[in-house]
Structure 1
Amino acid sequence: MGIREKIAGHMSVTARLRASQVAHGQLGWQRALTSGVRSALAGTVPEGAQAVGPATRPLLGEVVTSFDSWDVRRGTLAAVVAVLRAADVPYVLLGTRPELVVVRAGEAERARAALAGLDSPGWTVRTPGRSRDARLRRHLRAPLRPTQRLFRTLVADDGTVLGGPAEGVVLEVWTHSTDAVTYDPALGPLAPGTLVAPSYNGTASHLSPGIWERARGTAEHRVVTASRLDEVREPIDVVYTWVDGTDEEWQAQRKAAEESLAPGAVNPNALAPSRFLGHDELRFSMRSIEMYASWVRHIHVVTNRQVPHWLDTSNPRVSVVRHDEIFADTSALPVFNSHAIESQLHRVPGLSDRYLYLNDDVFFGRPVAPELFFEGNGISRFFLSEALLGLDPPSVGDLPVMSAAKRNRALIEQMTGRTVTRKVKHTPHPQQRAVLEDLEREHPEVFAHLARSRFRDPADHSVAAVLHHWYAYVTGRAVEGRIVYDYLDLANEDAVLTLNRIARSRAFDVFCLNESDVPSGVREDRSQMIHDMLAAYFPLRSSFELPGR
Structure 2
Amino acid sequence: MNRLDADVDIVVTWVDDSDLEWRKTRDQYKNIKNDSEAQSDLRFRDWDLLKYWFRGIEKFAPWARKIFLVTVNPVPKWLNLDSERIVLVHHDDFIPEQYLPTYNSRVIELNLHRINGLSENFVYFNDDYFLCRPIKKSHFFKGNSPRAMAVSNSLSVGDNISHAMLNNVQVLNDNFSKHQVIRESPLKWFNPKYGLAILQNLALLPWPRFTGFHNHHLPLALKKSVAKEIWELEFEVLDRTSRSRFRQYTDVNPFLLSWWSICSGDFAPAHLKSYGRYYQLDQAGVEPVVDSIRKQKHSTICINDGSIPDLDEAKRQIQRAFQSILGESSSFER
- Between the aligned partners of 1:244 and 1:317, the Cα distance in structure 2 is 22
- Confirm or deny that 1:457 pairs with 2:245: no
Displacement after TM superposition at 1:305 (Å)? 4.3
Does residue 202 of structure 2 align to residue 412 of structure 1?
Answer: no
The amino acid of 2:98's aligned partner reads S
**Aligned partner letter, 1:391:** S
Is 1:339–1:450's contact at 8 Å kept on the other side of the alignment? yes
TM-score by length of 2: 0.84
Partner of 1:285: 53
User: How many aligned residue pairs are there?
Assistant: 301
Alignment equivalent of 1:495, drawn from 282, 285, 304? 285
Partner of 1:249: 21
TM-score of the pair, normalised by structure 1: 0.52
Matched residue of 1:512: which SS? strand
Residue type at the aligned position of 1:416 = F
Secondary structure at the residue paired with 1:232? helix
Unaligned runs of 5+ in 2: 178-208
Quick one: structure 1 residues 539 and 453, their matched pair in 2 at CA, closer, same or farther if it must change by over 3 Å? same
Q: Which has the higher contact order (CA 8 A, sep 6+)?
A: 2
Distance 1:420-1:364 versus aligned 2 partners, 3 A rule: farther
d(CA) in 1 for partners of 2:125 and 2:54? Answer: 10
Provide the secondary structure at the position in 1 that maps to 2:310. helix
Q: Looking at secondary structure, tell me which structure has more helix per residue.
A: 2
Do the aligned partners of 1:288 and 1:363 also contact (CA within 8 Å) in 2? yes
Is 1:336 aligned to 2:103, yes or no? yes
Q: Deviations over 1:136-179 (max 9, x none)?
A: xxxxxxxxxxxxxxxxxxxxxxxxxxxxxxxxxxxxxxxxxxxx
The Cα shift of 1:300 comes to: 0.6
Report 1:63-142 matches (<5 A): none
1:403: which partner in 2? 163
Q: Which residue of 1 aligns with 2:322?
A: 534
Q: 1:337 and 1:373, CA in 2 relative to 1: closer, same or farther beyond 3 A?
A: same
- Rounded Cα–Cα distance in structure 2 between residues aligned with 1:279 and 1:531: 9
Q: Are 2:156 and 2:162, in contact at CA under 8 Å, matched by a contact in 1?
A: no
The corresponding residue for 1:480 is 269
User: Are the equivalent residues in 2 in contact too, given 1:324–1:333 (CA < 8 A)?
Assistant: yes
| Deviations 1:102-136, CA, capped at 9 Å, x for gaps | xxxxxxxxxxxxxxxxxxxxxxxxxxxxxxxxxxx
Whichever structure has more strand as a proportion of its residues is 1
Equivalent residue for 2:8? 236
Provide the C-alpha distance between the structure 2 equivalents of 1:543 and 1:460, rounded to a whole number of angstroms: 38
> What are the residue-to-residue correspondences of 1:8-19 with 2, within 5 Å?
none
C-alpha change, 1:498 and 1:235, in structure 2 (3 Å) is: same
What is the RMSD of the two structures over their aligned residues, measured on CA atoms? 2.0
Regions of 4+ moved over 4 Å: 383-386
The yes-or-no answer on 1:351 pairing with 2:118 is: yes
Match of 1:438 among 229, 246, 256: 229
CA offsets 1:339-395 (integer angstroms, 9 cap, x no match): 11101100111001101110111111211111111112x111124789x55334xxx
Please give the residue correspondences for 1:354-365 in structure 2 after superposition, counting only pairs within 5 Å: 354-365=121-132
Q: Which runs of 5+ in 1 are unaligned?
A: 1-226, 393-397
From the superposition, tell whether residues 353 and 438 of structure 1 become closer, same or farther in structure 2 (CA, over 3 Å): same
8 Å CA contact 2:294, 2:322 repeated in 1? no
- The SS at the match of 2:123 is strand
1:420 positional shift: 3.7
For residue 198 of structure 2, what is the aligned residue in structure 1? none
Instruction: Provide the identity percentage.
Output: 28
Compute the displacement of 1:266 (Å).
3.5
**What is the 5 A alignment of 1:50-69?**
none
How far apart are the structure 1 equivalents of 2:325 and 2:40? 28
Paired amino acid for 1:390: L
The question of whether the paired residues in 1 share the 8 Å contact of 2:121 and 2:223 is answered with: yes
